[in-house]
Structure 1
C-alpha cells in the first residue's frame, strides 16, 4: 500500500501535493500531540466554565475501537480515577490541549493540572487518598518508582517503535482514524520522521530492530519475575504500580495487528497475560461500552 501511495503522490501536480500535504500535516500534528505530547499549541485559561465542585474533567485522546484509550498516559490517568473512586467526566477531543500542549490533562474546581503523574499526585493530596497505598512498605514504594520508569521510559519506547515504525497502518486502525491512501502516505512519512527522531533521542532507536525487541523482552521478563504467582504486583489487591504497568502493556496487547511484544506476553510470560485480563475485568467491567463505535474522519 505504501508503494501505491508514494507512486500516486509523485504523480500529483504541485497544487495537489500542497492540498493533500496540508491535510496530512494537520492530522499528523494532532496525532503526535495527543498520543505522545509532541505539540506547539496549547490551551490558555480554563476550558470547562460550568464545572461542578470536586468533579474531575479529564481531557484526553478520543476512544479507540480496541481499548478505552490508545495512549498509555490517558489510559493510566482514567484508570487511576476509577481506582480512587473519584467522580469524573471525559472530554475525548482533538481540540483541547493543556497549557503545555499535551494530553492528558485535568481540570478540577476551576484549575488546570497537566501531566498525568503530577495530576495523580495532586489528586492524592486533594482527596486525601494516602490510604490507597498505606499498606505498602518502603521497599515496595521504591519498587513502584523503579517499575514506573521501566514501564514508561523503556518498554513504552519499544512500543512506540513497534507501533509507528513497523505497524503504521495498524496504528491508524487502532486509533479509529479514517484516512484515505494519500493522507496515509503524507502522514506516514511525517510521523516516521518525527518518531524516528524521538526514539533516537531516547536512545533505544539507535539500536537494531533485534536489539530493541531484546530490550522489550528483558523488560517484560523483569515484570513477570516481579509479579510471580501474585494476582497483582504487591499481593491480592491492585495499586498504582499495577495501573502504570498495565496501561503500557495494553498498548501492544490489544492492538489489531501482530506484534512481538504481545507474542512475548502470550508465549513466554503467561502470568502477565493473566494479569492484563485481570486488571481489565477489575477496573473496566464496561470495557466494551467504552470502545469507539464509529471511525474518526479526518
Structure 2
C-alpha cells in the first residue's frame, strides 16, 4: 500500500517494490515512524550496566561516539551531561519495545526488564542523580524548543533525505545499507525514507520550498544564539542540561565533517553564530 496521500502505483510497480514479509521489518528504521511495541532484544540482560539503544554503527557503539540520529544524540548527550554511565548499543526502531529509538535498559537487577522510552528518560535520570528538572527552571523552554522541533528539524529532513547528494553520501550508508545487502530492498527502503520525509514536511506546507526551510532554520539559529548570549550553557545554567543536549544534537551533526555532507547550507548558517559553534565544541568534550 502506498504511503498516505501518495497516488496508487501500477500493478507492475507495486509488484516490483513489494517486500517479502520476513524482511519488511527493514522499513522500520526511519526515525519519523512509531510502531507497536516489540519484544526486547535477546541480547539485553539486567546483569549489564545501563544500556542505551541508539542509531549508530558497531565501531561508534564500541567507542561511545555520538549517534548520527538527532533524537538519539539528544538523550545520549543528556545522560552524559547529568553523569549517568551507560553502554551504547547499536539498534534500530524494529528492535525497540516502543517502536522508536532511543530507549534504555537500566542496569540495576530487577524482576523483569523494564525498558525506558525516550519520553521517560528525563524523569528516570532525575530519580537517579537528583538533578534539576529543567522545564521548571524557565517557561521559555518549550517556546525555544519548538525552534528545534520544527524549523531546524524540517531543514534537517530536507538536507538529509531530499537532497540527492546528501542522501547518497549520508542517509543511505547510515539507514539503508546496514539494513540489507539486497539491492531491490535497498532501493525500496530508500524510496520509503524519502517519501516519509516529504510527507512530514508537507504536513505544514503546501509545497517543499528549500529556500524557505533554510531561511526558517537561519532564523532559529539566530534566536538560539541570542538566547545563549555569552553564557556557556542555555538559561544560565552552571552545567549543561536537556536544552543544551537538544541544541547539540543538531549543531554537532551539522558541523561534524565525518558525516560526509556534500551540500551543507545549515553549517554555513550555523557558523554565522560563533557562540553556538563554541557551545557545540565545549559539549563535544563529553564524548
CA separation of 1:99/1:270 partners in 2, compared to 1, >3 Å: closer, same or farther? same
- Give distance in 1, aligned partners of 2:206 and 2:81: 34
Superposed CA RMSD: 3.4
CA separation of 1:269/1:40 partners in 2, compared to 1, >3 Å: closer, same or farther? same
Three-state SS of the structure 2 residue aligned to 1:62 is: coil
Q: CA deviation at 1:43?
A: 1.5
Q: For each residue in 1:170-223, what CA deviation from the matched residue of structure 2 results, as whole angstroms up to 9, or x when unmatched?
A: 22245593668755543332222221112212x157452211111111111111
Q: Which residue among 275, 280, 283 is the counterpart of 1:276?
A: 280
- Give distance in 2, aligned partners of 1:73 and 1:225: 24
Describe how 1:69-148 pairs up with structure 2 within 5 A.
69-94=67-92, 97-108=95-106, 109=110, 110-114=113-117, 116-125=118-127, 127-130=128-131, 132=132, 140-148=137-145
Q: For the Cα contact (< 8 Å) 1:56–1:88, is it kept in 2?
A: yes
CA separation of 1:82/1:176 partners in 2, compared to 1, >3 Å: closer, same or farther? farther
Matching residue of 1:261: 266
Q: CA deviation at 1:83?
A: 1.6
Asked if 1:164 is matched to 2:167, the reply is no
**Comparing both chains, which one has the higher relative contact order based on Cα–Cα distances under 8 Å and sequence gaps of 6 or more?**
1
Q: CA deviation at 1:232?
A: 1.9
Structure 2: 5+ residue stretches without partners: 1-11
Q: For each residue in 1:133-153, what CA deviation from the matched residue of structure 2 results, as whole angstroms up to 9, or x when unmatched?
A: 6xx796x52223322232123
For these two proteins, the number of residue pairs brought into alignment is 257
Q: For the Cα contact (< 8 Å) 1:148–1:241, is it kept in 2?
A: yes
Describe how 1:61-76 pairs up with structure 2 within 5 A.
61-63=55-57, 68-76=66-74
Q: For each residue in 1:75-118, what CA deviation from the matched residue of structure 2 results, as whole angstroms up to 9, or x when unmatched?
A: 1111122122223222212385333311111122421222x232
Q: For the Cα contact (< 8 Å) 1:65–1:176, is it kept in 2?
A: no
Matching residue of 1:288: none
Q: For each residue in 1:256-275, what CA deviation from the matched residue of structure 2 results, as whole angstroms up to 9, or x when unmatched?
A: 11311111112x11221221
- Give distance in 2, aligned partners of 1:49 and 1:274: 37
Three-state SS of the structure 1 residue aligned to 2:88 is: strand
Structure-2-length-normalised TM-score? 0.75
Matching residue of 1:249: 251
CA separation of 1:279/1:172 partners in 2, compared to 1, >3 Å: closer, same or farther? same
Q: CA deviation at 1:68?
A: 2.1
Describe how 1:141-220 pairs up with structure 2 within 5 A.
141-166=138-163, 167-170=166-169, 171-174=171-174, 177=177, 185-201=187-203, 203=204, 206-220=207-221
Q: For the Cα contact (< 8 Å) 2:74–2:245, is it kept in 1?
A: yes
